Amino acid sequence: MLGLEGIRVKKVSHTDTSIKLYVTTAKKAVPCPSCGNHTSRVHDYRNQSFKDLPISGKHTLIILRKRRYICTCGKRFYESYDFLPKYQRKTNRVSAMICDQMAKSIPITTIANDLGLSPTTVSRTFDFVSYPKITRMPKVLSIDEFKGNAGNNKYQCILVDAQKKRILDILPDRRLEHLQAYFRSIPLFERQKVKYFVCDMWKQYAQIARDFLPNAKIITDKYHFIRQVTWAIENVRKRAQKNMTPSVRKYFKRSRSLILKRNHKLSMDDKERLENMLLYHDDLRTAYLLKEKFYSICKMDKYSLQRKAYNDWIKYAESVCISEFKHCIKAFRNWHKEILHAFKYGYTNGPTEGFNNKIKVLKRVSYGFQNFNRFRNRILHTCNH
């Protein structure tokens, strides 16, 4: 029933929350670790207690009557067991259960309470799980940062294989010098395998790709350049509201979703409400047309038409002279090539953002991590399990 080979149960003791099993094993001849001769002579006994998996929802404690043998060479030694490692107070399958549970986004205290262990024991056991640094680079490499507050650094960096949708590594820092040291340690022939590098609109990431990934085409994540247009039209709406009466201003604020939502997704009533809103302000009406046109460009299937429409859109946005779009146009000019790559090749940071959400959940249920290596191993164990 226990599934522990060679165990004989002599006595069982029950409480409301735990079960104690007093067990022994059959006497047999064992090899001496010193001279190699077999001996069955027992020198003395001692009781060893260790944890096992819960039985019927109760914590299980096994008390084993352990023999210490003596050899003709004078060596004294304890018998060994397949299910119980040396110097451990829990069975192998408890350690395996800890690793299995750590792959879920649940707190360490929950795992410890379920198995009747301390949180420190669970953490110490999981520390034996280690994920090495990546040795092979993917075809599509995606990079992003997240707020981890681990290892005295506010932000950590995540590397993802955007094609196979798996985390490659977690870096303790996102600063340029740290990223340079990391990629410099990877052999050149591996870095040459990267054909596409997906990142947000942070200059350091693009600089890393230019310096260390010679064959990679840099792709700006679609979400990060589309939101430039969203921010611009939101700022136009906020400017337009300043000269409105309080009741109209409140209506505009509550109905902002009508301006941000795609026109073809609006109902007839919502379209009428939107038309009335756009009549209040000329710049807001122009900004809405710019937003709709840009969203339509992002949905085009043919790249040659998409590229021409995108360049025409930038020229038109410059010609209308809406101040809130100046920053957006500047960003599009600075990242022109990388945005066109996003249209052409279609890779995004979507898988990376999905992993970032999982990391946020893991961080929240764990009440944060101080030890970066433990945080890194937990992320890789949870997200790639």
What confidence tens digit (pLDDT) does each residue in 87-125 have? 889 999 999 999 999 999 999 999 999 999 999 999 999
Q: What is the per-residue DSSP string for 152-178?
A: TEEEEEEEEETTTTEEEEEES---HHH
> Taking 90 as the threshold, does the pLDDT of residue 6 lie above it?
no
User: Looking at residue 190, what is its pLDDT?
Assistant: 94
Per-residue pLDDT tens over the stretch 184-197: 999 999 999 999 99
33 vs 63: CA distance, rounded Å: 25
Binning pLDDT at 50, 70 and 90, where does residue 1 land?
Answer: low
In 3D space, the residue among 53, 59, 55 whose CA is nearest the CA of residue 18 turns out to be 59
Pick from 159-168, 235-244, 248-257, 360-369 the range whose average pLDDT is largest: 159-168
What does pTM read for this prediction?
A: 0.86
User: Looking at residue 348, what is its pLDDT?
Assistant: 93
Binning pLDDT at 50, 70 and 90, where does residue 204 land?
Answer: very high
Per-residue pLDDT tens over the stretch 8-56: 889 999 888 899 999 998 888 999 999 989 999 999 999 999 999 998 8
Q: Which residue has the tokens 């999982």?
A: 358
Q: Which two tokens stand for residue 209?
A: 């790709």
User: Looking at residue 84, what is its pLDDT?
Assistant: 87
User: Looking at residue 20, what is its pLDDT?
Assistant: 93
Containing 20, the helix (H) or strand (E) segment is strand 18-25
What Å distances lie between residue 120 and 124, 256, 367, CA to CA?
6, 50, 15
271 vs 248: CA distance, rounded Å: 18
Helix and strand element counts for the chain (H, E)? 16, 12
> Taking 70 as the threshold, does the pLDDT of residue 65 lie above it?
yes
User: Looking at residue 242, what is its pLDDT?
Assistant: 87
> Taking 80 as the threshold, does the pLDDT of residue 372 lie above it?
yes
3-state secondary structure of 174: coil
In 3D space, the residue among 49, 5, 3, 47 whose CA is nearest the CA of residue 25 turns out to be 5
Residue type, 87: Y
Q: How many CB atoms lie within 10 A of CB 81?
A: 19
Binning pLDDT at 50, 70 and 90, where does residue 345 land?
Answer: very high
DSSP state of 90: B
The distance in angstroms from the start CA to the end CA of the chain is: 29
More confident residue, 204 or 384: 204
User: Looking at residue 88, what is its pLDDT?
Assistant: 86
Asked if residues 197 and 209 have their Cβ atoms less than 8 Å apart, the reply is yes
366 vs 219: CA distance, rounded Å: 34
User: Looking at residue 56, what is its pLDDT?
Assistant: 86
Binning pLDDT at 50, 70 and 90, where does residue 385 land?
Answer: confident
